[in-house]
Amino acid sequence: MKLEGKVALVTGSGRGIGREIALKLASEGANVVVNDLDAGPAEETVAAIQAMGRKAIACTGSVTEKGFAERFVNTAVEQLGGLDIIVNNAGYTWDNVIHKMTDEQWHAIMDVHVTAPFQILRAASEYLRVQTKKEAMEGREVFRKVVNISSIAGTGGNAGQANYSAGKAAIIGLTKAMSKEWGRYKVNVNCVAFGLIKTRLTEAAAGSDASIDVEGRKIKVGVNPDLLKTMEATVPIGRAGTPTEAAGSVYLFCIPESNYVSGQVLVCGGGFSM
């Protein structure tokens, strides 16, 4: 129970990687504020955490909506009694080559992958500053954790993903800046860049019209099976990663053993990196 009594915020934790991150942190003792666009998946994750004997509360809605960041942080502080871990995980892809990409596509992806994490960290700053000052006066050194999620598209770029690659590169920059700004508050700020992970966004979908609904937008998802096989063949381990394995990499940055690690980017890609 390395995270006993800690309070964690995890965006996009009703499904996929985010859900596994929330469950992993809870399995090690953390209480979690769960977020998802939809109430159903969020409540399912909440129930799974509560079944472990931990506390969990759903805070539904888009991370990009006005006032969400403050509502999210306040849920942790007011209902779970504190804030120790922030995982900025929520996101999706909306791909196109640049000459066909609209301003709406560009801004939607930048908003969810960069602006929303920035707003959440800004909303948490007052609580962190006050708590750190109080703990210092008591002679205590308490470390808190921020883990931002990037991608190998952000470390090396990817054709057809100018918006996503730019957003995921920007979150790395935000990570490095905040590790310097918040070091004095004993907040470790790190980043995990995922490679090929099996989620509903990357499932094989030959001839499929599979899509997700994001705030009224129908976003096509899925990867051609032949292309998926080719992608997996480039991974030294020989396959795509699982959401559970992805969550494990985030967990490494949340435990006390990483208290002197900050401003770093860990590629979780089975040995593949751009």
Is residue 249 within 8 A of residue 268, CB to CB? The reply is yes
Looking at the whole model, is its pTM more than 0.85? yes
Three-state SS for 86?
strand
pLDDT reported for residue 222: 67
Is residue 69 within 8 A of residue 59, CB to CB? The reply is no
Q: Which residue of the set 92, 127, 164, 251 is catalytic?
A: 164
Identify whether 127 is a catalytic site residue: no
Instruction: Say how many Å lie between the first and final Cα of the chain, rounded.
Output: 35
Tens digit of each residue's pLDDT, the chain (274 residues): 999 999 999 999 999 999 999 999 999 999 999 999 999 999 999 999 999 999 999 999 999 999 999 999 999 999 999 999 999 999 999 999 999 999 999 999 999 999 999 999 999 999 999 999 999 999 999 999 999 999 999 999 999 999 999 999 999 999 999 999 999 999 999 999 999 999 987 775 545 567 778 877 877 776 767 777 888 999 999 999 999 999 999 999 999 999 999 999 999 999 998 7
pLDDT reported for residue 205: 56
For the chain, the structural domain boundaries read 7-195+242-268
Q: Report the distance separating Cα 55 and Cα 31, nearest Å.
A: 5
pLDDT reported for residue 209: 63
Query: Which CATH code fits 7-195+242-268?
Result: 3.40.50.720
Residues near 146 by beta carbon (within 8 Å), at least 6 away in sequence = 85, 86, 87, 88, 121, 175, 178, 182, 187, 188, 189, 190
pLDDT reported for residue 92: 95
